[in-house]
Structure 1
C-alpha cells in the first residue's frame, strides 16, 4: 500500500494576471463559500487583513522576512504577477484521525514579487494560511520573520505561557485580554483567539521543516508578534536528557535559498464545534515520503511508567524485570491491546547497548510475538542521537516495533531537523515513533506517517506530582492543542477523585474527575498510539471498563460533533467501520439531549453505555453500565456529574 496522497476530484487553474498595476480588489481572496475574505496590501510592507461575514478580525498585519545577505521579502513589495487557482480534492490520510477521507477545498492566490520571492495565500471555509517562497541561490541566513497579528477589537487569548525556549510545551491555558499580554510574555502554539461575537481563530503552523518553531508574544496592545528560537551556538549537557543552550546566534535559520517556508495557519470557527473537526494542519503539511505504509499499525499500549509498574496479586516481585513485562504482555493479549512500552529503566542511562540484566528483550519480543503483542522502547533523545544507526539496527534485529523518544524540550532549527532525521531513520527499519518532551505537531505525521503521536500536552502524568490536570483543562485541550494533531495525553486512570479527596502521589496515582470522564477520553482524544496508563492489576479489577477499552479504536473513519464549548464540554460521535462510539466530557454538571440522526447504515443499534453513577459527584469512581436499543430516529438524554463523562459503543443490528 502506498502512502495516500490525493484523490483528485476537481482542480482548475483560474487565471494568470500580469498587469503593470493592480487595483486593490485584485488582491482579495475569498474562501470557497465566500464568507472569509483576505485583503493584501502592497505599501511600505506587505500586509494582509482578514474578515469573516464582513466583520473584520485582523487589521492590516505586516509579513516580512529578514535575511543577513540583505534580501527583505515583504519590504517595499513590487508585484510582478498574480496566479490564482481553485482546488477541490479528497485527501486519503495514511493514518486517519478524524476522517478517512478529508475533503480539501480552497482558493489560492500566489503573489510573484520582484526580488525572487513569492507569497502564497490560501483560503478555506474553515481558515486561512500564508507562506513565503524564495528562489535565492546558495545558503541564506534568516535573521527574523515578521509575524505580526493586529486584531480588530480586543479578543480573549487562550495563552499557554512559556518561560523560555527550553520547554516541553506542556502549559495550562490562561485566558487573557490581548492588550493585557506584555512584551515579556511568550506562548507556544497553538493559541486560541476568542471575540465576544463568538468567532474564534486558532493560530499555529504547518509544514515546519529546517526552520525554528513559531511562538507568539504580547505587545501590551490588541496585537501579538511572532518570536523564534535562534540557532544554538553553544550547548551544555546538564544530564543524560537535558541539553541547555548557553549561546545562540543572531539568526534563526541557515537554510537553502530556494525553498518554501512554514505555513502560518489561522483556523477559523463560528461555533466551537468547528475547531474539533479542523484538519488544516494536516492538509497544509508536506507530502508523504514513504512508498509503503502498510506496515504502520496504530493501536493501544499498556504503559508501565505512570502506574510505576505497581502490580499486585502476583507471585513475583514487580519491577523492571522480564517477569513483570511478561505480565503486561499477557494483560495486553487478553484484551486485544497491540503494544506494551518499556519506559525508563530498561537500559543504563547514557548507553542503549547496556540493557539491564534483569530484562531479556529478545525473550520478551518472542513472548509477545506468540501472543500478538509488540514492544516499543523508550529512549532519551540525546543518547539515541549519539548511537542512532547502530541502536536502531539493534532494535530492528530484536524485532522491536517502535520507539518513544523523550526530553528534546526544544524546537530551534537543529531540533526540528532532528525530528525529521529520527522519523526517516525509524521508517527505514519499519519502526513507529512517539515523541515525548516535544513541541506541538506541525505536519510531520503526514510526511512520515510512522510518527503516530507525540506529547507536547499537559497530560495525566502531571497528577503524579500536582493537583492537575483538572477537568476544565481536559476539556480545553481538544479545541486548541488537538487542533494541531494527535496528543499523547495518556488517559485511563482507574483511581478517580474530586477535590479535596484527590492526592498527588507517585506510585498509586489517581485522576481528577470521574471514571467516565476517563473513558470518554478514548473517544474524544485523538492519538493513533493511545496509552492505557494504569496498572494491569487495576484494570483486571474493572472488567466492565475493560469491555469498553478493549473495543475502542484509535483511528476513525468519521467524526460528528454533537455539542461543544471550549473549556466547558464536548460530545463527539465517531465511526470506525460500521460501529459508532460516543464520548462526552464536561467540567461542570450538565445534561444533554442527543439527536442520533447521524447514525447511518443499520436500522437499529445495540448500545453499550457507561455513565456517571448517581453518586459520582461525591465518589468519582461511581458509574453505571447499561444496554439500550437505539435508532437514528431517537433522542437520548444523558446526565454528567461535575468533572464527568459518558461513553457508549453502538453496534449495528437489523430488526
Structure 2
C-alpha cells in the first residue's frame, strides 16, 4: 500500500489568535479553520468555560457551556484558569485500506487549553479543539493527577446553544429498539431527546452533530433544555444505577463533532468523523490487510423474515446443508464472495428473542453440516460468513466469545455478523451505554486476533472507529430492509432511504441489505411490502454505502433476471465518492468510481413522489467516452402498483453530457458508466 506522510506545522498558527477579554479575569481564544470559513471562540470565565461557532461570519452556535460533573465532587467546569495553551496545524493525506474514498485529506488547526482549578486541591482538565474546513471537534482530556484518580462522571455539561430554530431530522432516544425507528422531522425546538447524528437545515447552512472515537465512554444523546428552546445538551446513556461513565485518569472523552456545509447534500462529502479518529497501528493494518475483503454477500435470512423459513430447527428450518449449497451455487456463478447462514448453530428453538439466550457458538444445528458447507464454498470461491446472535445476552456470550472465534478461525471463516436483538442488554443495560461500548471494543479486538471482519447489528452507532480498527467493516444501527419483511406496521415508508444517508449515513457504513426483486411475498406477510421499485433497489447499492453489501433476496428470485446484471457489476470498494444533489427526505443522487477500474456508478432515488432530474456527468474523466448502462423505472412503474416495471437502455456519454432521469413514485435509476 502506498502511504502519504503528514506535514505538521507546529508553533504559532497565523489564524489562531489569543485575544484579551473585556474582563481581566477572563481569557479568550479564537481558532479558525484552514480556509477561515469557520471560527471557534473560547472564553474561560470564573463561572465556566464557553465556546461559540460561526460559519461564513454567521453565528451557528452561541456561547455554550463545557465541563464535566463528577460524582461526589464539585463540577469540573468553573473556577478554572489556563495554565498552558498550545497550537498546531496538521495537513496530510491518508489512505483507507477499503472505503468509500481511497485517499482522504486531513487538514485542521488545533488548540489545546490546559486548565487548572483555582481551588486548594486543584484538578486539571484539558480541552482540545480542532477546526477543519468542514466542521469542528472538541474533547476533554483528564491527565494523571493527584486529586482525581478513579471516579464516576454523572453528567457531561457540553451544550449546543444553536443560533437558529432549524428544521431538524432526528430519532428519539431511550426507546426499546434503539435507533431502529423511522426519522422525525420537526423544528429544533420540538426535539425531545435524540440519537446522533442529528441533522439540521438552517436558512444559510446545514449541520450535523455527532461524536467520534467513542471508546470506554457512554454514547451521547442530545436533550433539549426546556420547551421551545434552541439549546441541546449532551445526555450520556446511563448505567442502570444512573452512573454515566465509570473511569479513571488519564482519560480522553470522545470528540463532540459539528459538521457544517452550505447545503445538506454537502454534508455527505465530509470525512470529519473519520478524520477525528486515530490511524491504525502499522501492525494492526498489516495484519488486517491479509484477510480484509470488501464484497457482496447473500444470506439464508430474508426467507425467514418473510415467513417462508424459520430460524428454529424443524420442518421450516432455513439453515440446512442443501439450502446453503443452493445459495453457494448461485453466488459462485455471480462472483458473490460470501454466504451468511442465520440459524446455523444450536440454541435457536422457539421465540429465541423473548427468552434468555441458549446459543452454542461452536456447535452446528442438526441438519447443517458446517464443515461440509465451508468446504463446498471454498471449492467454489464462496466464503461462509459466521453469525453470532446474542439475543442481547452479552455476559452469556462473552463466556463463549474466545472459543467461538477460535472455532471460526479453525474453519477458515473470516467474517461475522453480530446480532444483539433485545430491548435491553442482559435485561438491564441500554444498547448504547458504556457497558455495551466496552463489550463491543472487546468483540472487535477478539475478532481481529482471529482474523475476522465484523458486521454489527443492533449495536452502538458508528463513530469512525473503522479508521483505527480496519476489521470493523460495517454496522446496521438503522431501521433496515428486514422491517419490510415482517414488521407489524407494514414496513418502512418510501422516503426512508432518502433520509438515511443524510442522518445515520453520516456516521459510517450502513448494512441496509438492499436488492429485493420479488415484491409479492404476501403469503405469510399480507400487510408488508418493500416500498420501492426494482430500479430503486438497484440504486441503493450506490446510494447507501457499505463495504459489505448484501444481495438480500432469494436466489430463485434472481435467476435469469436481466436487471441482476447491475448487481453482478457494481463493486463495494471505491476510489472516489460524490454526493451530487438531493434534499433530505425527497431525493438523492450519488456517484462513485470503482477502486479497481475506470468505471463509475450512479444511483438516484426518490421518495413517494415522481420527479424528473437532470444530472451533469462532469465527474467523468474529460475527453473520454463511456457507455452508460442505464437501469431505470419503466413508464408505468410505481412502488404501490407496479414495482417490477423497469427498462434497460444504453447510450454513449462523456463529461459534457447531461442525463435526464425520470424517477417514478418510490423509484430510482442505477447506471454503470463503462469506459469505452
Identify whether the pair has TM-score above 0.5, normalized to the shorter chain: yes
Cα shift readout 1:579-625 (whole Å, capped 9, x = no counterpart): 10011011121112221121117721112110110000341110000
Q: Report how far residue 367 of structure 1 moved.
A: 0.4
Query: Which residue of 285, 299, 305 corresponds with 1:303?
Result: 299
State the match for 2:80 in structure 1: 77
The one of 176, 182, 197 equivalent to 2:186 is 176
Show CA shifts across 1:427-458 (max 9, x none): 11111111111121012212211111111011
What secondary structure, in the 3-state scheme, does the structure 2 residue paired with 1:610 have? strand
Q: Which residue of 2 aligns with 1:101?
A: 103
Query: How far off its partner does 1:14 sit?
Result: 3.0
Look up the SS of the partner of 2:364 in the other structure.
coil
Q: Identify if the C-alpha distance between structure 1 residues 329 and 509 changes in structure 2 by more than 3 Å, giving closer, same or farther.
A: farther
Q: 1:23: how far off?
A: 4.1
Question: What is residue 133 of structure 1 aligned with on the other side?
Answer: 141
Give the direction of change, closer, same or farther, for the CA distance of 1:335–1:253 in structure 2 (3 Å limit).
same
Judge conservation of contact 1:42–1:76 (CA < 8 Å) in 2: no
Q: Which moved more, 1:343-352 or 1:100-109?
A: 343-352
Q: Which residue, 50, 53, 64 being the options, matches 1:50? A: 53
Cα distance in 2 for partners of 1:602, 1:363 equals 52
Is 1:462 aligned to 2:483, yes or no?
yes
Offset of residue 16 of structure 1: 8.9
CA displacement, residues 342-398 of structure 1 (integer Å, 9 cap, x when unaligned):
113532242223321200111111100011110112112335322011111111111
Match in the other structure for 2:158: 147
Sort the Cα spacing of 1:259 and 1:7 in 2 relative to 1 into closer, same or farther, 3 A.
Answer: farther
CA distance in 2: counterparts of 1:61 and 1:136, whole angstroms = 27
Once superposed, what is the RMSD of the aligned Cα atoms? 2.5
Does the C-alpha gap of structure 1 residues 565 and 21 become closer, same or farther in structure 2, counting only changes over 3 Å?
closer
Matched-pair contact (CA < 8 Å) for 2:308–2:524: no
Aligned mates of 1:112, 1:260 — CA distance in 2: 13
SS of residue paired to 1:352 = strand
Which consecutive unaligned segments of at least 5 residues does structure 2 have?
117-122, 310-314, 349-357
Matched, 1:400 2:403: no
User: Residue 37 of structure 1: which of 36, 39, 42 is its match?
Assistant: 39
3-state SS, counterpart of residue 609 of structure 1: strand
Residues 322-342 of structure 1 deviation map (CA, whole Å, 9 limit, x = unaligned): 000011111111110010101
Measured in 1, the distance between the counterparts of 2:318 and 2:480 equals 24
> Which of these residues, 359, 366, 371, is aligned with residue 357 of structure 1?
366
Normalised by the length of structure 2, the TM-score is 0.87
Partner of 1:187: 194
Q: Choose 169-178 or 456-465, whichever is displaced more.
A: 169-178
Distance 1:19 1:548, change over 3 A: closer
* Contact 1:276–1:561, Cα closer than 8 Å, also in 2: yes
Corresponding position of 2:464: 443
Cα pair distance change 1:7/1:70, threshold 3 Å: farther
Maintained 8 Å contact 2:297/2:339: yes
**For the Cα contact (< 8 Å) 1:463–1:510, is it kept in 2?**
yes
Tell whether the 8 Å contact from 2:17 to 2:31 is kept in structure 1 after alignment.
no
In 1, Cα distance between equivalents of 2:418 and 2:386: 9
Q: CA offset at residue 299 of structure 1?
A: 0.9
Which of 560, 582, 591 in structure 1 is aligned with 2:602? Answer: 582
Match of 1:230 in 2: 238
Q: Cα 1:449–1:602, aligned 2, differ >3 Å: closer, same or farther?
A: farther
Q: Within the alignment, does 1:322 sit opposite 2:321 as a pair?
A: yes
- Matching residue of 1:595: 616
Corresponding position: 1:413 with 2:416: no
Distance 2:344 2:559 in 1: 25
Matched-pair contact (CA < 8 Å) for 2:490–2:527: no
Structure ranking higher on relative contact order (CA contacts 8 Å, 6+ apart): 1
Distance 1:613 1:19 in 2: 59
CA–CA distance in structure 1, aligned partners of residues 231 and 68 of structure 2: 19
Q: Give a deviation string over 1:507-548, Cα, whole Å, max 9, x none.
A: 996411111111000011111111111111101142x22211
Per-residue deviation, 1:129: 1.0
Structure 1: stretches of 5+ with no match in the other structure:
232-247
Give the match for residue 371 of structure 1. 380
Give the drift of 1:21: 8.7
Pick closer, same or farther for the CA change 1:375–1:641 going to 2, 3 Å: same
* Superposed CA offset, 1:528-578 (max 9, x none): 111111111101142x22211011111211112221211111111110131
Aligned length: 619
TM-score (norm 1): 0.90
